[in-house]
């Protein structure tokens, strides 16, 4: 769709103009107040227009708004120290990125430069960014878009995600089968430089599939065994979204490279690729870590305050508590709804999946109906809802949003 000189695609189809946003609410162009269950897709985890974050940006605007890539503003160095201090000790070196896609491309460049190997192992139907190199990680060669824009998959190997449904009784078997296939590929494919994955959940595609417990631990063991670097994409799972400050903290796994964006700045445009000093020293002259607008001091100010708030308030604890509450409520209220296939998630990254091919169901129409009743939802895929309320949402507001969502699910047919 093209509207007001802007192109919107089928995934991010035009909905409405936003006239105001604050905390857990947004207002459309007609002044209708909506409870937000999207957080801008895991961006404004601390709520829309968080006062402390915005004030930090304004203060920085009075000092300096830009620095070139061969210089450093003091706030950049301060943030680099505080960000790496919040991570496992070995992850102590960072590149200044603009967005999740540039962070993931930097991670791939770094992995190839360090290992001397081209191939990247990833999951089909995942999303690590919208540029060629990252689309090839999760898109399938048979997709029409893959053919239309001539994606080249010769350096990519894709796996099927080891999805676990709610109440699955064969979780151990699912993990065992996946690990058997995973190790077989690592053993036979000698040109794999890295494996890229999220931390036990898919946030960037819309499915919100959950991996078996211990998935990340076992993957780390095997990547170490075969000398393959582990890249964790924490663009969606970072900054308290899954009930831990970072997704890796669920199993205390330390990757070789980790990427951040989205919630890192609570709306400020900033990202980061973090790795070890050993890897950085051996690759930076080859991987070309530079960006004209990477880490604008304005955005760094927002990211610095965002991190301070997460650490000060232990935001992940509320996210875990509220996430458990959301899943318990949804599972109880929708347990007898035959067309609800799965309700699962980590923290406040909750997926509600309807049966594929459900007749007479239209996702866009559902979203429009929910909006008319005061709830803003994102379009995940044709049969999946990805619920991502701000982590700071008040329980009363959360309950109101859940009530609208549950009512719409039950009454849609």
In the chain, what are the domains?
A: 2-49+314-411 (3.90.1150.10), 53-313 (3.40.640.10)
Span 301-350, pLDDT tens digits: 999 999 999 999 999 999 999 999 999 999 999 999 999 999 999 999 99
CB 107 within 8 A of CB 231: yes
Whole-number Å distance between alpha carbons of 132 and 150: 9
> pLDDT tens digits for 202-246?
998 888 999 999 999 999 999 999 999 999 999 999 999 999 999
Does residue 12 have a pLDDT over 70? no
Are residues 331 and 351 in contact, defined by beta-carbon separation less than 8 angstroms?
A: no
Is residue 14 scored above 80 in pLDDT? Answer: no
The rounded mean pLDDT for the chain is 94
The 10 Å Cβ neighbour count of residue 130 is 12
Contact 247, 198 (CB under 8 A): yes
Instruction: Give the pLDDT of residue 11.
Output: 61
- What's the pLDDT score for residue 1? 75
| 411: Cβ contacts below 8 Å, ≥ 6 apart | none
pLDDT at 365 over 70: yes
| pLDDT-wise least confident of 131-140, 192-201, 277-286 | 131-140
Give residue-wise pLDDT tens across range 261-285. Answer: 999 999 999 999 999 999 999 999 9
pLDDT band for position 117 (cuts 50, 70, 90): very high
d(CA 327, CA 332): 8
Which segment of 76-80, 205-209, 386-390 scores lowest on mean pLDDT? 205-209
> Are 257 and 273 in contact, with CB atoms under 8 Å apart?
yes
How far from the centroid of its chain's Cα atoms is residue 88's Cα?
20
Note the maximum CA span of the chain.
Answer: 60
Taking the CA of residue 221 as centre, how many other CA atoms within 13 Å lie in the half-sphere pointing to its CB? Answer: 9
The tokens for 398 are 């959360």
Residue in 65, 3, 2, 53 with CA at minimum distance from that of residue 23: 53
pLDDT at position 167 is 81
The answer to whether residues 128 and 101 touch, using CB atoms and an 8 Å cutoff, is yes
Q: How large is the average pLDDT for residues 92-96?
A: 98
Beta strands 349-354 and 156-159, pairing class: unpaired
- pLDDT over 80 (residue 4): no
Query: DSSP string covering 106-172, please?
Result: HHHHHHHHHH---EEEEETT--S-SSHHHHHHHS-TTSHHHHHTT---TTEEEE------TT-S-HH
The confidence score (pLDDT) of residue 145 equals: 85
413 confidence band (pLDDT: 50, 70, 90): low
| CA atoms of 371 and 377, how far apart (whole Å) | 8
Which pLDDT does position 10 carry in this prediction? 61
Strands 25-28 and 2-3 come out as unpaired
Residue 150 pLDDT > 90 = no
- Transcribe 273-298 into DSSP letters: EEE-HHHHHHHHHHH----TTTT-HH
Can you give the pLDDT at residue 247? 98
Contact 28, 18 (CB under 8 A): yes
- 206 vs 58 pLDDT, higher one: 58
Res 364: pLDDT:
87
pLDDT above 90 (res 197) = yes
d(CA 384, CA 86): 33
pLDDT at 183 over 70: yes
């Amino acid at each position: 769709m093209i509207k007001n000189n802007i192109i919107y695609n089928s995934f991010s189809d035009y909905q409405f103009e936003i006239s105001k946003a604050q905390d857990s609410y947004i207002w459309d162009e007609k002044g209708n107040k909506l409870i937000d269950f999207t957080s801008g897709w895991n961006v404004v985890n601390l709520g829309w227009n968080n006062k402390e974050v915005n004030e930090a940006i304004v203060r920085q605007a009075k000092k300096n708004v830009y620095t070139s890539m061969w210089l450093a503003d003091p706030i950049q160095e301060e943030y680099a120290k505080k960000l790496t201090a919040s991570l496992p000790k070995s992850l102590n070196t960072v590149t200044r990125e603009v967005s999740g896609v540039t962070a993931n491309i930097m991670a791939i460049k770094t992995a190839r430069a360090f290992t001397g190997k081209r191939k990247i192992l990833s999951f089909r139907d995942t999303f690590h960014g919208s540029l060629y190199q990252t689309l090839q990680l999760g898109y399938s060669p048979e997709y029409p878009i893959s053919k239309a824009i001539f994606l080249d998959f010769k350096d990519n190997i894709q796996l099927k995600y080891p999805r676990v449904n709610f109440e699955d009784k064969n979780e151990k078997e699912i993990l065992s089968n996946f690990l058997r296939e995973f190790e077989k590929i690592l053993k036979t494919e000698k040109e794999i430089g890295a494996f890229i994955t999220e931390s036990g959940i898919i946030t960037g595609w819309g499915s919100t599939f959950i991996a078996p417990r211990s998935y990340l631990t076992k993957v780390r063991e095997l990547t170490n065994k075969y000398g393959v670097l582990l890249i964790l994409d924490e663009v969606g799972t970072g900054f308290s979204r899954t009930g831990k400050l970072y997704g890796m903290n669920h199993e205390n796994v330390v990757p070789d490279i980790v990427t951040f964006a989205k919630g890192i700045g609570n709306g400020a445009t900033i990202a980061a690729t973090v790795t070890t000093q050993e890897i950085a020293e051996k690759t930076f002259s080859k991987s070309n870590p530079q960006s004209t607008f990477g880490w604008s001091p304005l955005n760094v100010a927002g990211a610095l305050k965002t991190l301070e708030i997460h650490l000060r308030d232990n935001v992940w604890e509320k996210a875990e508590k509220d996430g458990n509450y959301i899943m318990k409520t949804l599972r109880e209220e929708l347990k007898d709804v035959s067309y609800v296939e799965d309700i699962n998630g980590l923290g406040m990254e909750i997926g509600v999946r309807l049966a594929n091919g459900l007749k007479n169901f239209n996702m866009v129409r559902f979203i429009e109906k929910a909006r008319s009743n005061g709830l803003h939802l994102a379009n995940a895929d044709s049969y999946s809802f990805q619920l991502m309320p701000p982590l700071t949402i008040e329980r009363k507001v959360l309950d109101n949003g859940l009530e609208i969502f549950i009512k719409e699910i039950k009454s849609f047919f």
